[in-house]
Amino acid sequence: MTKTVNLLKSLLHNFGVVLVVFGFAFLGRKIDSFLGITGFHSVFTTAAAWLFLVIGFLVRVWAAFHFYEQRMKVISLVPQKKLITTGPFRYSRNPLYLGGNLFIFLGSVLFLGSPAGIVLTAINLIFVDLMIRREEKQLAHEFGREWMSYRNRVRRWL
């Protein structure tokens, strides 16, 4: 029963993420319109958009599920008390950011055909990377050698 609840929480949380990110992409389209920039659409960009959206959503659901299984919050203003190194965290130290801030963001702006959205996504990634570096300092302080070992074997993004 708990696994089912955790899966449902993961799915619902990430449907919310997709909605918020599409709002972000819509902002990109508004900027395009304001600046007189023509959007783009093709079979290739639509297919790439769907691929990025599906991959990003599934990665985020998988990562959120691991958080919920450890009785941790996906969004927390205080440092976490556990270091998760299983599931998608075996391949990326930041699968939530990878799935959301890269794949879902990119998929949504490609889906809407927004050049400004692509620029906004790149700017967002710069800020996310700065946030990740701050979080990594907290993890090093909190988990010491365990963090260092994990950091040395798993890449930040991919």
d(CA 17, CA 14): 5
Residues above pLDDT 70, as percent of the chain? 99
d(CA 45, CA 2): 39
Question: What's the confidence (pLDDT) of residue 74?
Answer: 86
d(CA 146, CA 102): 27
Is 117 within a domain? yes
pTM reported for the whole predicted model: 0.93
List phi, psi (to 5°) of 58.
Answer: -65, -40
Question: What's the confidence (pLDDT) of residue 45?
Answer: 97
For residue 125, the domain's CATH number is 1.20.120
User: pLDDT tens-digit profile of 31-89?
Assistant: 999 999 999 999 999 999 999 999 999 999 999 999 999 988 888 777 778 999 999 99
Is 158 within a domain? no
In the predicted structure, residue 1 carries a pLDDT above the cut 70: no
Is 113 within a domain? yes
- Classify residue 82 as left (phi > 0), alpha (psi -120 to 50) or beta: beta
Mean of the pLDDT values across residues 11-17?
93
Contact present, 55 and 102 (Cβ < 8 Å): no
User: pLDDT tens-digit profile of 110-156?
Assistant: 999 999 999 999 999 999 999 999 999 999 999 999 999 999 999 99
Domain count, the chain: 1
Is 73 within a domain? yes
Range(s) of the domain holding residue 120? 2-153
